[in-house]
Chains A and B, each alone.
Chain A
């Protein structure tokens, strides 16, 4: 106990923060079991048991939203998750510092722009009257409006996510790559390993722990695929293909004033996320890494 004295001291401020700012408000999740009215508050509102959850899970719009959410999440995990890794590897293999630094600086720019602007810009470029559409028209393919095509919407938004965050995502991987000692590369080179083999045997294992960590966290958020980005583009493609759990909750909960359903959806997200995190963490440990915990 004496030995750990400082550890507890270092732990205390952070712990207090989490208890005050995260656990105390958690009690507010009781709203999920109520017919909540802001004026009456939690004390004054009626309790309705599980009916919010039942409503959530039997509502066809809710089911549609969950379905869309899972599809988009899958697309993001398969395509958007590895993208920063690939870019980081590519940039890492460049021999010129100047180019690397320049590209790094450029590639993180989109992260800073808010979705409102991004959607507006994409519309200008890819929309029905934009240069891309003009290009297609001049090639005889007719005006193509990528932004309003419901069938390709999920691919569109995944591409937007990649565009926005690929550069930003490389930051963590770069930090990981930098902590790989060079002698590992040297000894690999001495064994006649070319650049690709060096990447496979040295770089990738070196960033594996961080990658798995991020993947586990991503899985924990499998039901959160973005909100602002999607709600801005819902009118363009219709709600059927674009509604995800967060936009459903916004439309029903905040706009419609149905706080019960909104909170119930949040709890459902949390439960599913927890299950996935636990499962993924076990797998990560079996693969020999630290895992999340």
Chain B
């Protein structure tokens, strides 16, 4: 048994699912007014969050001349907006571009971030690592601006390539700091006893730190995935070929600039109102990334455990 497994035996796993269905003895049932209050607040929050979304989705189904009523259901329901944006291939192509950038980018980012973060967790023992930490933190406060970054990308030959959207943003100092913080909360005894058994830093990293950090890693994976999926400004500056546009650029051009995508792909047909098209593009562009969260949530629910024995 590894050190991590022995320790696991001594602790009650905090699994959201388990402890709830079999309510722990120490959790009494809260009083009725308190429950009612909680429910009211939660309901209010849910409505405030969902209403605009619902409005957006309903609007994407609105036909021409339809009025959006308070009930949100448009007076003329139609799928025209979706037909017109998905028919021509521009939107689908952009989605694939974004998918590629997101998957590859996130993978690279998570690997680089976790390795760097771990290497900086023992600034007292590893000479020079404190300096490196400061160097990294410094970059959160100062940036260079559009032109110097552009020139760098150009010099590296990355202009107009998908890699220009992946590599320059490969590590977010913020994410690195967050996960470093989690790493540092893993109890020192676990690490010490592994070292006594002769494990190298790499082994400790791979066999102890990573398995115990599933939740924070899931968190930063999610952060990176959303970041890459939503990348917009870099694409605007670095990408010249339209077939390489990620979805946010396409979204921006059709939503903000109102370019007549529908007329290109469906001339002579009744054009759905521009607003419907815009909303449809938004819905289509946002859904894929929304689907990522439930997968990440699994990691939260599996109950990770890092016992931080403090006080």
Which of B48, B185, B252, B294 touches A105 (beta carbons < 8 Å)? Answer: B294
- When C-beta atoms are compared, the residue in chain A nearest to B219 turns out to be A175
Of A4, A91, A163, A206, the most chain B CB neighbours within 10 A belong to A4
A99 to B25, CA, bound (A): 21
Which of B46, B52, B116 touches A10 (beta carbons < 8 Å)? Answer: B116
Chain A residues, Cβ within 8 Å of B140 = 217, 220-221
Q: Are A185 and B26 in contact (CB under 8 A)?
A: yes
Q: Are B142 and A125 in contact (CB under 8 A)?
A: no
Q: Is A183 an interface residue (CB 8 A)?
A: yes
Q: Are B49 and A125 in contact (CB under 8 A)?
A: no
Which of A27, A163, A217 touches B148 (beta carbons < 8 Å)? Answer: A27
Distance between B207 CB and nearest chain A CB, rounded to angstroms: 13
Q: Is B76 an interface residue (CB 8 A)?
A: no
Cross-chain pair count, CB within 8 angstroms: 272
Q: Is A190 an interface residue (CB 8 A)?
A: yes
Q: Are B16 and A213 in contact (CB under 8 A)?
A: no
Q: Are B50 and A109 in contact (CB under 8 A)?
A: yes
A94 to B45, CA, bound (A): 15
Q: Are B185 and A179 in contact (CB under 8 A)?
A: yes
The binding surface of chain A is classed by DSSP as helix
Distance between A241 CB and nearest chain B CB, rounded to angstroms: 24
- Binding-face segment, B78-86, B171-179, B265-273: B171-179
Q: Are A4 and B215 in contact (CB under 8 A)?
A: no
Which residues of A1-46 have CB atoms within 8 Å of chain B's CB atoms?
Answer: 1, 3-11, 13-15, 17-18, 20-29, 31, 38
Using C-beta atoms within 8 Å of the partner chain, give the interface range for chain B. 35 or more
Of A109, A167, A290, the most chain B CB neighbours within 10 A belong to A109
Contact with B along A156-167 (1 / 0, CB 8 A): 000000010001
Q: Are B24 and A182 in contact (CB under 8 A)?
A: yes
- When C-beta atoms are compared, the residue in chain A nearest to B130 turns out to be A293
Chain A residues, Cβ within 8 Å of B14 = 178, 180-182
A3 to B203, CA, bound (A): 13
Q: Is A59 an interface residue (CB 8 A)?
A: no
Q: Are A110 and B148 in contact (CB under 8 A)?
A: no
Q: Is A145 an interface residue (CB 8 A)?
A: no
Q: Are A209 and B185 in contact (CB under 8 A)?
A: yes
Q: A6-B202, A179-B305 are in contact. Are A105 and B115 (CB under 8 A)?
A: no
Contact with B along A100-128 (1 / 0, CB 8 A): 11011111111111101110011011000
Contact with A along B201-228 (1 / 0, CB 8 A): 1100100000000011011001000100
- Closest 3 A-B residue pairs measured CB to CB? A28-B148, A14-B116, A189-B26
